[in-house]
Structures are given as structure tokens and as C-alpha cells.
Structure 1
Amino acid sequence: MNAFALLLLAFLAITFLQSGLDKIMDWNGNVSWLKSHFSQTILKNNVPAALLIVLALEIVAGVLAVMGIIENITSHSTQLGDYACMVSCVTLLFLLFGQRLAKDYDGARTIVIYFIPAILGVYWL
């Protein structure tokens, strides 16, 4: 059992499953806020589609993280955990792109905080 992998994957599972659940539970509120957030960007007419893509990536990353925890405990392997980290990085890059596009530099900076452990996971797992 790899304590680093378990803690990192727990972090990613909590981060992405909670975020995905929030998007599902308040879809209309999220779409409304994001339409305003991206009103001056090329995404202004595609907010629901973009949100759906991010939601799908978040759910995949979170589920892979949970599966990676189970795999690490049962077989001491980190393959699924590595995939979880890679999907997490892709998801965070999509989010970073959106924040930069919207010129929300504080939001972009916050995403980097999540990106650091995810990219370390890709490197170490």
C-alpha cells in the first residue's frame, strides 16, 4: 500500500466528485453564472456544452481516483491512480483555459494549486 498514492487519490476523488455533484445538483445556477462569466469570450454561446464536457471529465477523474484507491489497497498497483492523475490534469487544463479566456486571473491561479498535486501524481505514480 502506497500512502502517497492513497492520500493524493483521496484528494482528487473529493475534489472532482464534489465538484461534479455540485454541477449536477445546481446545473441551471452553474450555467447561468458561467454564461455571465464567459459573456465576452468565444465560449459565450457554448457554455452548457463546455460545462457538460468539464462535468464528464470531473466524474471520470473522481471515479478513477476511487478505483485507484481500491486497486492500490487490494493489489498495490497504481495504474488506475496514474490514469486518475492524468485525467485530473487534463480537466484542470480545461478549467485553466476557461479562466484565462475569461481573464479571471485569480481563478486561474487557484486552479494551479490543484494542478500541482495532480501533476506530481503523474510523475510519482
Structure 2
Amino acid sequence: MHIFDHTLLKVIQVLISLFAGVLFLQSGFDKVFDFKGNKGYIQSVFAKTFFNSFSGILFVIITILEVLAGLASFFGAIFYFIEGQKDFAILGLELSLLSILCLFTGQRIAKDYAGAASLVGYFLLIAFGLFTFALVG
């Protein structure tokens, strides 16, 4: 099935990449624009864990990772849709999965099991999106 000369698989890949882009651009930019508030929250979450002494640097790392994942996913989706070049879309999905894995790990360590569980759906959708790129050469 073709939609505007694109296969349905390509449309699904683009939509999942755009989803990851929106998800991580919003999350990453929220951390950037309210850096102090978000950093304080993260430090309070990890106050009673072994991450306490370096939660600030971990916050900076996850912020950078989320912004990069969002940018690569969002612009990768657009570039893939227009030009057919899929490298940035794939990179964006890989960075998105890495971001979710980092967030999941942090929430498990902080014993926020409900928060960690809420990430599973995102992980599965984005992993499926990455998998679809393996379906075609």
C-alpha cells in the first residue's frame, strides 16, 4: 500500500521517529529551560541512593542525551521521509532507547517502580520502530 509514493512501512517508521522526537525534545527542553527546578528534583529523588553525590552530573548527561535523541529522531524522520536517508532516524531511535534505559535504571534505583513501569510502553514502541528498519535493506 502506498501513501503519496511512500510505503506504509516507511510511514510507520517516520511516525515512530517523529513520536520519539517530540517525546525527547519536550522532555529535554523542559530540563534545559527549568534546569534549576529539574536538577533539584532529581537530586531529591536520589538523595538516599548511591547516586546522591553525582546526581547533578547524571542529570546533565541525561539532559544532553534526551536533546540529542529528540533532535536526531525528529530531523531524522523528516530527512528519511523527504530524502529516503534513514541513518539519522535510526540514530535517533537508538539514542531514544538509550535514554529510556537510563531513565528506567534511575527510576528503579530510586525505587520509583510505577515511574519505571510507565517507560516500558515507550521502550517497546521505539524498539519496534528500530526493528522495522531491519525489515528492509
Letter of the 2:103 partner, please give it.
L
Residue 77 of structure 1: how far off its partner (Å): 3.0
Deviation string 1:70-105 (CA, Å, 9 cap, x unpaired) is 221222232211111111111110001100100110
Letter of the 2:104 partner, please give it.
L
Taking structure 2 as the reference length, what is the TM-score of the superposition? 0.86
Bigger CA drift: 102-111 or 31-40? 31-40
Sequence identity, in percent? 30
Taking structure 1 as the reference length, what is the TM-score of the superposition? 0.94
Whole-angstrom distance in 1 between the partners of 2:83 and 2:35:
38
**8 Å Cα contact 1:8/1:117 also seen in 2:** yes
Gapped regions of structure 1 (runs ≥ 5): none
Q: Which residues in structure 2 correspond to 1:1-125 (within 5 Å)?
A: 1=6, 2-125=10-133
**8 Å Cα contact 2:22/2:74 also seen in 1:** no
Point out 4+ residue stretches in structure 1 off by more than 6 angstroms. none
Q: Which has the larger radius of gyration?
A: 2
**Partner-residue secondary structure (3-state), 2:74:** helix
Gapped regions of structure 2 (runs ≥ 5): 1-5
Whole-angstrom distance in 2 between the partners of 1:46 and 1:113:
29
Whole-angstrom distance in 2 between the partners of 1:65 and 1:34:
25
Whole-angstrom distance in 2 between the partners of 1:29 and 1:41:
20
